[in-house]
Amino acid sequence: MTPVTSAPPADERVGSPRLLDRLVLRPEIGALLGALLVFVFFSTVTEQFLSTGGVATWLDDASTLGIMAVAVALLMIGGEFDLSAGVMTASSALVTAILATKLGWNVWLALLVSLVFALAVGALNGWLVMRTGLPSFIVTLGTFLALQGLNLGITRLVTGTVQVSGMRSAEGYSSAGYLFASTFTIGGTSFYVSIVWWILFTVIAATVLVRTRFGNWIFAVGGSALSSRAVGVPVVRTKILLFMTTAGAAWLVGSINILRFTSVQANQGIGLEFQFIIAAVIGGCLLTGGFGSAVGAAIGALIFGMARQGIVYANWNSDWFQLFLGVMLLAAVLVNNALRRRAERVRR
């Protein structure tokens, strides 16, 4: 029975964390620092990087990658992978192109059918993963190979060659083109509309993720599917919707590509799926799910675009590009990891 002599310490739960600590908690902070670093570096090293034409070029490069990276980030936060996302961009473009040029459909109708096709493949991916309990890595690897074969087989069967072209003369091309592949001018420089799609997609995804109930479900199923099922989160529906989102984003990118380049190759998109994952990881997503950010993934894609074009502006030998990417990825992951460790110590 010793009498209390000192005043009780202040309760740490009601204190407010310092600003720096609050910043450290954000998953995209590592990517943001990286983006600033890359931006400042190439702006000082090269002349054209900051010219309006230069900015338009690297934003254009980052835009389609960014749309996919954001969708893949949502899926990864939900604890799943989609390796078929890269080839899906070519598949949806091929469906659109074949329907419009070989069957003479209106482009809008062709776009609608290829969207349905993409969503169906996405739903199939999700359903297989949930139904079999196999890792999505395995299931979507199967889809990836199957789509790759379909792309080549059907293209050659229908056209006798390995690329579909001639979109320009299809009915409804110009109106669809306005939506997906036009340019707009700001201050005398043309920017591709795909940049707007990217920003729009990122804003919608970020809002859904942190402002809606569905966003909570995404974090929950990625964090622990069992616990979230126990508290009444519709796990199956959430994950299937996430796979459909990735496929839908792939359709959007495929449509942007086919309307802008008016032709599509049967082997397009192979290998891109890893770039989407890398961009999402640089943006703070974890491979284990339950953590990450849509804005971060968009910034990850921006780093990609800036680096890809910056290396060209700097007149470096492009042979080293992949090495640079690999080192950057490792650095980003290490920074993210360090920040997260620190975040876990911060009082909230």
Partner 1 sequence: MTSTRKGLRTGPVRLGLALSGLVLLAACSGPGGDTSANTGTAAAQAPTGDLRVAVITHGSAGDAFWNVVKNGATDAGKQLGVTVDYNSDGDPGRQSTLIDNAASQKVGGIVVSMANPDALKTSIENAVKAGIPVITINSGSDKSSSFGALAHVGQEESVAGEEAGRKLKEAGKTKLLCVIHEAGNVGLNQRCDGARTGFGGAVSNLQVDINNPTDVESRIKGALQTDPSVDAVLALNPQVAVSSVSAVKGASSKAAVATFDLNADVTAAIKSGDVLFAVDQQQYEQGYLPIVMLKLYRDNANTVGGGKPVLTGPGFVDKSNVDKVAEYAERGTR
Site for partner 1 in 232-271 (CB under 8 A): 257, 259-263, 265-268
Contact call for residue 18 and partner 1 (CB under 8 A): no
In the bound state with partner 1, the residue whose beta carbon lies nearer, of 106 and 267, is 267
Strands 183-186 and 163-165: unpaired
Instruction: Please name the amino acid found at residue 317.
Output: N
Q: Which of 216, 287, 331, 333 is in the footprint of partner 1 by CB under 8 A?
A: 216
Positions 142 through 161 that interact with partner 1 (CB under 8 A): 151-152, 161
Within a 10 A sphere around the Cβ of 33, how many other Cβ atoms? 14
Positions 71 through 100 that interact with partner 1 (CB under 8 A): none
Backbone torsions φ then ψ of 103, nearest 5 degrees: -100, -5
In the bound state with partner 1, the residue whose beta carbon lies nearer, of 51 and 132, is 51
Q: Which of 202, 238, 245, 336 is in the footprint of partner 1 by CB under 8 A?
A: 202
Query: Which DSSP string corresponds to 192-247?
Result: ETHHHHHHHHHHHHHHHHHHSHHHHHHHHHHH-HHHHHHTT--HHHHHHHHHHHHH
Contact call for residue 44 and partner 1 (CB under 8 A): no
Stretch that binds partner 1, among 68-76, 122-130, 163-171, 242-250 (CB under 8 A): 163-171
Task: Judge contact between 302 and 62, C-beta under 8 A.
Answer: yes
Token pair 């949502």: residue: 74
Contact call for residue 106 and partner 1 (CB under 8 A): no
In the bound state with partner 1, the residue whose beta carbon lies nearer, of 109 and 119, is 109
Task: Judge contact between 132 and 140, C-beta under 8 A.
Answer: no
Contact call for residue 214 and partner 1 (CB under 8 A): no
**Shortest gap between Cβ of 131 and partner 1 (angstroms)?**
27
**Shortest gap between Cβ of 257 and partner 1 (angstroms)?**
6
CA distances for 178 relative to 194, 201, 261, 326, angstroms: 11, 18, 13, 37
